[in-house]
């Protein structure tokens, strides 16, 4: 009897994401097994239960997906899977907490392409601000941009201490070089954006982060990317389907363009689909986090 493909979905939160379940089924997995309230110390035993219950042939049709909302915890869980495996009993593992890794990878890849196409610049040539920078998508976006050489600032809307805490933790973990900042009002946003080349908006859905008055203070802005698809947009003037469309609100900054949430979301959807599918097609185990996601996102855009 042919073995069915199984995806075991480990999640430290009370509920697994319906989005991830839909995506995994559409990628071709036959059976999904969600596990909620999973703790880091559970990962070793759960992984061994996954691998030792199937033959080497069945192992090739078995994989693990790690969800949740904490970027660091997801990496810790992925790493904890590895020593629990004994060749040839090894399976692929894909970490994507709250879709943060694939969303951030898609966002940075789309902005990077717009930057090259419209301005002939690389990320390493630019100063980037990440608004909503202390959330999971913001942190992942900041780390990716920083690792590509951008001078990256994580912006919190309430406390510079929160931003600096996140920067310290993730710089140490991933060898990035982010700095922290705070923007509690339009004046502080305007002061920050005046010297920015790139703006990533990763704040909560339905919140207008940058209005026209703030954008008018941007003197060297080249690309603004927004992941908020719920009206109002996070960045005024950036429409959800925009991909490198002129951002007229940044009137002082010649040639500024916007990348909208659905343009990013289309790449994110393709990216997560391809990464899930890759675990079914590989002959050797894959261990996928935001770094592998960004590499594939670049190919998709």
3-state helix, strand, coil in the chain (%, to 5): 45, 20, 35
Query: Could you tell me which CATH number the domain at 103-264 has?
Result: 3.40.50.720
One fold for both 6-99+267-300 and 103-264? yes
User: With b meaning 16 or more CB within 10 Å and e meaning fewer, what string describes 121-149?
Assistant: bebeebebbbbbbbbbbbbbbbbbbbbbe
pLDDT confidence band for 55 (50 / 70 / 90): confident
The answer on pLDDT for 2 being more than 80 is: no
Of residues 116, 192, 97, 124, the one with CA closest to residue 154? 192
Q: Is the pLDDT of residue 1 over 70?
A: no
pLDDT in tens, 227-282: 999 999 999 999 999 999 999 999 888 899 999 999 999 999 999 999 999 999 99
CATH code of the domain made up of 6-99+267-300: 3.40.50.10280
Region at 288 (left for phi over 0; alpha for psi -120 to 50; beta for the rest): beta
Q: How far is the CA of 233 from the CAs of 61, 228, 240, in angstroms? A: 41, 6, 8
**Phi-psi region for residue 42, left (φ > 0), alpha (ψ -120 to 50) or beta?**
alpha
Model pLDDT, residue 3: 86
Summary mean pLDDT of the chain: 96
Write down the pLDDT at residue 252.
86
Does residue 26 surpass a pLDDT of 90? Answer: yes
Mean pLDDT across 115-140:
97
Q: Where are the domains of the chain?
A: 6-99+267-300, 103-264
Q: Of 253, 301, 245, which Cα lies nearest the Cα of 107?
A: 301
Q: How many CB atoms lie within 10 A of CB 82?
A: 13
The per-residue pLDDT for range 213-241, each reduced to its tens digit, is 999 999 999 999 999 999 999 999 999 99
Report which DSSP code applies to 123. G
> Each residue of 146-183: pLDDT tens digit?
999 999 999 999 999 999 999 999 999 999 999 999 99
pLDDT reported for residue 244: 96
The pLDDT assigned to 187 comes to 97
């Amino acid at each position: 009897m042919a073995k069915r493909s199984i995806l075991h979905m480990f999640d430290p939160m009370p509920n697994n994401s319906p989005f991830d379940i839909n995506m995994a089924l559409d990628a071709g997995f036959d059976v999904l097994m969600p596990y909620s309230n999973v703790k880091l110390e559970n990962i070793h035993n759960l992984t061994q239960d996954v691998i030792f219950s199937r033959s080497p042939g069945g192992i090739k049709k078995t994989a693990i997906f790690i969800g949740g909302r904490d970027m660091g915890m997801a990496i810790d869980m992925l790493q904890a899977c590895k020593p629990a495996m004994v060749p040839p009993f090894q399976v692929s593992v894909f970490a994507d907490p709250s879709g943060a890794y694939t969303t951030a990878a898609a966002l940075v890849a789309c902005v990077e392409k717009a930057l090259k196409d419209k301005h002939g610049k690389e990320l390493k040539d630019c100063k980037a601000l990440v608004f909503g920078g202390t959330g999971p998508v913001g942190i992942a976006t900041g780390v990716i941009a920083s690792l590509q050489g951008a001078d990256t600032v994580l912006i919190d809307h309430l406390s510079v201490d929160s931003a600096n805490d996140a920067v310290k933790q993730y710089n140490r973990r991933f060898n990035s070089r982010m700095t922290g900042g705070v923007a509690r009002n339009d004046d502080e946003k305007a002061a920050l954006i005046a010297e920015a080349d790139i703006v990533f908006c990763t704040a909560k859905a339905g919140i207008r982060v940058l209005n026209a008055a703030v954008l008018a203070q941007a003197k060297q802005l080249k690309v603004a990317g927004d992941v908020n698809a719920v009206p109002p947009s996070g960045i005024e003037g950036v429409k959800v389907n925009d991909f490198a469309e002129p951002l007229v609100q940044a009137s002082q900054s010649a040639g500024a363009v916007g990348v909208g949430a659905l343009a990013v979301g289309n790449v994110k959807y393709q990216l997560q689909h391809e990464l899930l599918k890759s675990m079914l097609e590989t002959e050797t185990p894959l261990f996928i986090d935001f770094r592998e996601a960004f590499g594939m996102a670049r190919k998709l855009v």
